[in-house]
Amino acid sequence: MTSAQYSPETARQTFAGTGRAPRLSFGGVVKSERIKLSSLRSIRITLLITLLASAGLSLLSAWAMKSSYSYEGLDPAALPVDALQSYLLTVSTFASPFLALIFGVLGVFVISSEYSSGMILSSLAAVPRRTPMYFGKALVLAVIAAVTALVLVAIGLAIGIAFLPPAAAQLFSATVLTGALGAIVYLVCISLLGFGFAAVLRSTAGGISLVAGLIFVLPIGLQFLSMTGWEWVPTVAQYLPMSLGSTLSMGDTAMSVDPGYWVGMLAIVLWAAVPTALGLVVLKARDAK
């Protein structure tokens, strides 16, 4: 074949001897992102720290609550249903507000590591269309965060039952199941929140600072503002991610709380969706360098 006859189109048609042009499917993008993320040492270390911290906090809370029952002379087997449900949720989801920062950092690492290393250029060369690449990363992150959160909650439930066997009867109650689901959704959304912040800022330090400020610093600031007597301050505080995480971890109960369980679920999803969507806009509007 002469140089005049050879062209990129001919190369694509004869790719791998199939006679067909190669197609880049979204499934292939997701698979490549999974391989890429699983190979990052920072991701593995973050997940390991999360598992150890969660198990340790669950052990401490289970031991403390059982000791409290013994100190007060209560018979664990005679505890009411709502007390057993509260015990299980406390032990299994107690760590979620504190682990939110780690999940947020996980989301930041997923995309900021590519900008810091320059790998974002290679990723965009392999996947020129930025939207599939971006959503592929977000999907893999959501799955990793969901599986990790599920394992953490399951470990917490197992620890709770080991310390207080009568609580096993409430394991599949609606309150416990919705509380576990709420904690998982909360942690997944926090990881996507960090992902969106990092996509906008393209900085690991900036993304982590925003996540930490939103989760831990802003609630403290609103506590000081509450002393002013302004009525809007407590309302805003209830819709911050940390407060929403506590609400969701309580499960869908008959207790009157504001916001309610499902409203809180919608609110935390919006907290994740807005930065993630903004990150896509910035990715498509700005040069990758």
Asked whether residue 118 is domain-assigned, the answer is yes
- Range of the structural domain that residue 185 is part of: 25-285
Nearest one of 123, 95, 278, 250 to 193, comparing CA atoms: 278
- 3-class secondary-structure state, position 49: helix
Q: Is residue 16 part of a domain?
A: no
Question: Average pLDDT of 13-25?
Answer: 54
Question: pLDDT of 39-90, one tens digit each?
Answer: 778 778 878 888 888 888 889 888 888 777 665 556 666 678 888 888 899 9
Give the end-to-end CA distance of the chain in Å, rounded to a whole number: 38
Could you tell me the two tokens for 25? 């499917």
Residue 48 falls within a domain, yes or no?
yes
Residue carrying structure tokens 């809370």: 61
Among 36-45, 108-117, 179-188, which stretch is predicted with the lowest mean pLDDT? 36-45
Residue 5 belongs to a domain = no
DSSP code per residue over 78-137: G--HHHHHHHHHHHHHTTHHHHHHHHHHHHHHHHHHHHHHTHHHHHHHHS-SHHHHHHHH
Residue 143 domain-assigned?
yes
What pTM did the predictor assign?
0.85
DSSP 23: -
Please check whether residue 6 lies inside any domain of the structure.
no
Q: What is the pLDDT of residues 126-182, one digit of tens each?
A: 777 888 889 999 999 999 999 999 999 999 999 999 988 888 888 899 999 999 999
Give the count of domains, the chain: 1
Establish if 13 belongs to a structural domain: no
